[in-house]
Amino acid sequence: MKRYQMLAAPRLVAACAAAMMLQLAAAHPARGQDAVAADPKHYTVEFENDQVRVLRVVYGPHEKSVMHEHPASVGVYLTGGHIRITLPDGRTGEPRVEAGQAMWHPAGKHLIENLGSTPFELVLTELKTPPAAVR
């Protein structure tokens, strides 16, 4: 009996671990969709290697994206503009940016709407490796 219990214990642990992993997967929805895959009209890849992906982002006047996701990135705004950023929980912000401005963007999901009457354009460099911890 002891030998059976010893053999059964690892199987029981493995079964419990598998069940817990399935519960965690069900509790956490899949990641958002990549910007280029979700919205190729507005996002194009200009350059990519194993460390970064550089996107050209262009929104015509009053155009709006679909919900999508980016890793941590740096944006350089080629034009100024007024945009609306909508987060998955419905919160919004309406920043104004200046041409030539550079800005850090943490990883996250959002959709963008160009509130202006002129095209809005930026170059977005997405990081493929997590940012280093601040010392």
For residues 84 and 6, what is the distance between their CA atoms, to the nearest angstrom?
60
Q: Which amino acid is at 73?
A: S
The better pLDDT of the pair 123, 133 is held by 123
Write phi, then psi, for 77 (nearest 5 degrees): -85, 120
For residues 16 and 84, what is the distance between their CA atoms, to the nearest angstrom?
45
Q: 74 with 102: CB under 8 angstroms?
A: yes
pTM, two decimal places: 0.73
For residues 35 and 68, what is the distance between their CA atoms, to the nearest angstrom?
5
CATH number for domain 35-127, candidates 3.40.50.620, 2.60.40.10, 2.60.120.10, 3.40.50.1220? 2.60.120.10
pLDDT digits (tens, 9 = 90+) for 4-29: 444 444 443 333 333 333 332 333 33
pLDDT digits (tens, 9 = 90+) for 48-91: 999 999 999 999 999 999 999 999 999 999 999 999 999 999 99
Q: Can you give the residue ranges of every domain in the chain?
A: 1-30, 35-127
pLDDT given for residue 87 in this prediction: 96
